[in-house]
Chains A and B, each alone.
Chain A
Amino acid sequence: MTLQECYEAMGSDYTGVLGRLRSERLIQKFVLKFLDDPSYALLCQSMADGDAETAFRASHTIKGVCQNLGFTKLGQSSHDLTEALRSGGGPEAEALLERVKADYAETADAIRRYAGQ
């Protein structure tokens, strides 16, 4: 599996990110580091605790990282969640969290497969 195929598997735009970061080595390095970022765990935990403020920051961080790495799909769902949490959360946020979880799983899965080979 190439890095490009990995991006395709997670519904994201490889050409775009290569245009910006300009180095396959750099992209590879950060993609592999993505799973170590604690923000996702923090998001799930703070949502479970009903701590909307921390959840907002965690979601905001995921969104920022995704934007930088060109993870389009997860970037979009975490963006929507961030906006919902900015105004305090509620049932809408819960639904959006499920989408983030699904997209994160898909992204993580693709990265693991890419890393595993």
Chain B
Amino acid sequence: MAKGKILIVDDSEMNRSILADMLEDEYEIVEAEDGLQAVELLREQSGEISLVLLDIVMPNLDGFGVLMAMGQNGWIEDVPVIMISSESGSDQVAAAYDLGVTDFISRPFDALVVRRRVVNTLILYAKQKRLMGMVEEQIRETERQSGLMIGILSHIVEFRNGESGLHILHVRRLTEFLLRALLRKTDRYALSDGDVTRISIGSALHDIGKIVIDESILNKPGKLTDEEFTVMKTHAMKGAEMLDALEGQQNDPLVRTAYEICRWHHERYDGRGYPDGLKGDKIPIAAQVVALADVYDALTSPRVYKAPIPHERALEMIADGQCGTFNPLLLECLAENAELIRQELADGESGEAMLHRESENIVRQSIRAATGAAGSVSDRTLRLLDWERMKNDFFSAMTGEIQFEYVASPSMLIMGAWGAQTLGVEETIMDPSRDERLREVLGEDGWGQMSWEMRQTTPEQPTVSYDSLMTYNGQTRWHRIMLQTIWTTDTPPRFEGALGKAVDIHDTHVKLAALENKATRDHLTGLLNRAAAKERIQERSGACACGSRTALAVFDLDGFKSANDSRGHQFGDRVLKTVAERLVRSVRSSDVTCRAGGDEFMLFLECKTDLEKTVDRIFHSLCGDFEGYYISVTMGVALSETVGSDFEEMFKAADAALYAAKRAGKGRYFFYDESMRDTLAADREKQSGGQQR
């Protein structure tokens, strides 16, 4: 076993090293000196840390804070925490237990106790995890296997009978449906949930006795002769005998139930059925229900000797007693739920149907293998499909692409084997909008976005691609998702589904984002640079052209050059940073802030009702002392209502106002007005060479 890693969180180095000394022979130790560090370490190394020893009183974030963070991030379920404390107040102990603490160690430490508690806690956690895993695995495997075995067995019978592949499935669903309806109606039959499940599973075996009936009788298109019918009738008893001969399994509850069903599913409620002529409730309820389900589905399905009969007609025939006599209570259940039953059987796809298909495929394949019939077209197609599938999986594993298909109705996402394994999801995801594991991968609204993207396509423009975060293997990374939707050839075309793939583009994405940031930001202050700000401002003015008020302000620092000269460039840089911070603090995040160059800044505000007051407030928040240097700014402001919302016009006007403010004596702000127009352009040209800005 690998050395476990223990995180010791205590603000006293002495206490940490005492604990570390006690444990370091057997465990790898990491230490944190306060709660914040601890949370950081847990975040970085989650999954590696197997236990936390946690102090309560600590600076920055105390032990309770750490526990809450562990709870919020779900770590507390996987990482046991032992609290260390000399605090023995029972309130604190109770609070700590509530937050998920496993155990306490109190000061002063006893080396033996500390080691023992740590070992015990680790063993307990490991054992619990292993047991949970084992039980889950076993249940799933057992269910899958027995479902599959019964499916295979009953399909063998079906194939021989030439029945539709769906008969077994229909009988099974109808049986369960009728049983539930019966239990709602009466308490005459004491059946548990387990009994209901057993009877529906067992129903799949009702005709296994037909395996011994000669095929010429079984699949005879016309009416059977009396002799043939006598042979046919033996299938009930034969099936029961087969089950009874199961060595050592005869008393298994499922086998008992299946026995009842096989033997008595051709009995009649009036006592005129076969093989035993049982009457009324002498016939086990399991067999009664399956008999009715069998008759209904036989009537509504096509057979070699007849065409399918419509649902309504079949119900009438059963009610009239043309197909035998049944328990009146069951007939009521059938009649009362007729519409529901029709829907239940019509809406084909479900988890069960998938399993059904799986077993049907196995049977088809083994029949092919057994008979060596390789020549038919469908075989060839199947082999080609398999080949394609293998090829796809191979290529997607090689390129790291996750490929999938989406079927719109019923809503179903089908992943390639490699993709499913990589993402940790099922290969077939029924109703993806509700799939928990898919949600973990795509994020809370990930499926919603994918559906939305698909809906944006048309048969003429069926492709779409977008970037999205995906989480698997413990990592969240950017992926590009590419989709091609598929449409029917009807008029108008109907949306059928989509093909798609997701490609990891995280590294490129991150690099691009960093580059974009570099290209648009001033690296000293983090404000936008002039070009980026201009672009952003033009977007904004375009977006809120609906008469809302905007303002553009430009300002620079008074006497910045002399401060730079007398106290050095580094000080100058700090002044610029401080001005930028004050600026960002005094505006809303939707406003645009910019360092245009040197000590010159630009600011764009929008949609404020009282722009004058806002400008005044911002102006004053910029000014003030900084390390003995008084920051003072001169500002010019242009309002959209005066000069319109064109960026260049606003900028020129703001610059003119700035110039006017400077001439009036710095340390102030001016709003642009018409009086500044003419004089300024001329003055400006005269001055431009002379003034250092």
Contact of A64 with B110 in the complex, beta carbons under 8 Å: no
- Kindly provide the distance from the CB of B365 to the nearest chain A CB, expressed in whole angstroms: 68
**CB nearest to B19 among chain A residues:** A68
Q: A20-B108, A20-B110, A21-B111 are in contact. Are A68 and B57 (CB under 8 A)?
A: no
Contact of B107 with A64 in the complex, beta carbons under 8 Å: yes
B440 near A: Cβ within 8 Å? no
B392 near A: Cβ within 8 Å? no
Selected contact of B14 from candidates A23, A26, A37, A70, CB within 8 Å: A37
Contact of B15 with A68 in the complex, beta carbons under 8 Å: yes
Q: A20-B108, A20-B110, A64-B12 are in contact. Are A57 and B86 (CB under 8 A)?
A: no
Contact of A63 with B86 in the complex, beta carbons under 8 Å: yes
Query: Which of A19, A64, A68 has most chain B Cβ within 10 Å?
Result: A64
How many B residues touch A, CB cutoff 8 Å? 19
Given known contacts A21-B109, A39-B12, what 7 new A-B pairs fall within 8 Å (CB)?
A17-B108, A21-B111, A22-B111, A54-B59, A64-B86, A67-B108, A68-B14
* Cα separation A17 to B18 with both chains bound (whole Å): 12
Chain B 1-29 residues near chain A, CB threshold 8 A: 11-15, 17-18, 21
| Contact indicator per residue, chain B 88-127, by CB within 8 Å of chain A (1) or not (0) | 0000000000000000000111111000000000000000
Chain A residue numbers with a CB within 8 Å of B57 are 56-57, 60-61
Selected contact of B109 from candidates A23, A56, A61, A68, CB within 8 Å: A68
Chain A residue numbers with a CB within 8 Å of B21 are 26, 29
Chain B residue numbers with a CB within 8 Å of A20 are 108-111
| Contact indicator per residue, chain A 45-80, by CB within 8 Å of chain B (1) or not (0) | 000000000101100110111011110000000000
**CB nearest to A37 among chain B residues:** B14
* Cα separation A70 to B58 with both chains bound (whole Å): 22
- The contact sample of 24 A-B pairs, CB cut-off 8 A, is A17-B108, A19-B110, A20-B110, A21-B18, A21-B109, A21-B111, A22-B111, A23-B111, A26-B18, A33-B14, A33-B17, A37-B12, A37-B14, A39-B12, A56-B57, A60-B57, A61-B15, A63-B86, A65-B14, A65-B15, A67-B108, A68-B15, A68-B108, A70-B108
Selected contact of B13 from candidates A17, A37, A57, A67, CB within 8 Å: A37
Closest 3 CB pairs of A and B: A67-B108, A67-B107, A20-B110
Selected contact of A61 from candidates B11, B18, B108, B112, CB within 8 Å: B11
Report which B residues bind A (CB closer than 8 A). Answer: 11-15, 17-18, 21, 55, 57-59, 86, 107-112
- Kindly provide the distance from the CB of B667 to the nearest chain A CB, expressed in whole angstroms: 39
Q: A57-B59, A68-B107 are in contact. Are A30 and B11 (CB under 8 A)?
A: no
**CB nearest to B113 among chain A residues:** A20
Query: Which of A22, A29, A57, A61 has most chain B Cβ within 10 Å?
Result: A61
Chain A residue numbers with a CB within 8 Å of B110 are 19-20
Contact of B14 with A34 in the complex, beta carbons under 8 Å: yes
* Cα separation A63 to B106 with both chains bound (whole Å): 13
- Kindly provide the distance from the CB of B457 to the nearest chain A CB, expressed in whole angstroms: 61
Chain B residue numbers with a CB within 8 Å of A65 are 12, 14-15
* Cα separation A39 to B13 with both chains bound (whole Å): 10
Q: A63-B86, A67-B86 are in contact. Are A30 and B108 (CB under 8 A)?
A: no
Chain A residue numbers with a CB within 8 Å of B108 are 17, 20, 67-70
Contact of A68 with B18 in the complex, beta carbons under 8 Å: yes
Chain B residue numbers with a CB within 8 Å of A61 are 11-12, 15, 57
Chain B residue numbers with a CB within 8 Å of A60 are 57
Chain A residue numbers with a CB within 8 Å of B55 are 64
Contact of B14 with A30 in the complex, beta carbons under 8 Å: yes
